[in-house]
Amino acid sequence: MKIKVLSLMFLLLGFTSCLKNQADGVQVLDVATYEKKISEPEVQLVDVRTPEEFNEGHIENAVNINFMSDDFDANVANLDKEKPVMVYCKAGGRSAKAAARLKELGFKAITDLEGGISNWTSDNKPTVK
């Protein structure tokens, strides 16, 4: 009985976490869905890792805008707020913060890669240098 109750609680927690992301205007997608979506027209793909991490390998057509840099806001000002923005980092922490910041700055459609490029590469998806 306790196991069923605990399982139900975890299920509800996971469900509400997903709802929170979508309510915040940020979609978090798994690798397969993210890969399909980046090929859509007008998508702006942003790698928010450091330039050193970016140079080690990134998703094709991504631009590097380092979330940890002091000029992050100035650099994302070059993006179109009306077009979809898709972000990723190494494991999902920085990109979640970057997505929240983009939302604050008025971007309309923001998507984050669940688990970052670590999940991308573990699914044997291609990267470029």
* Catalytic residue chosen out of the listed positions 86, 89, 99, 102: 89
Give the burial class of 6: count Cβ atoms within 10 A of its Cβ; 0-12 exposed, 13-18 middle, 19 or more buried. Answer: exposed
Q: Which residues lie closer than 8 Å to 125 by C-beta, 6 or more apart?
A: 31, 35, 59
Task: Please answer whether residues 63 and 36 qualify as being in contact, where contact means their C-beta atoms are separated by less than 8 angstroms.
Answer: no
How long is the chain? 129
- Could you tell me which residues come within 8 angstroms of residue 43 by beta carbon, excluding any fewer than 6 positions away? 37, 83, 84, 85, 86
**Is 89 an active-site residue?**
yes
Which residues participate in catalysis according to the annotation?
89
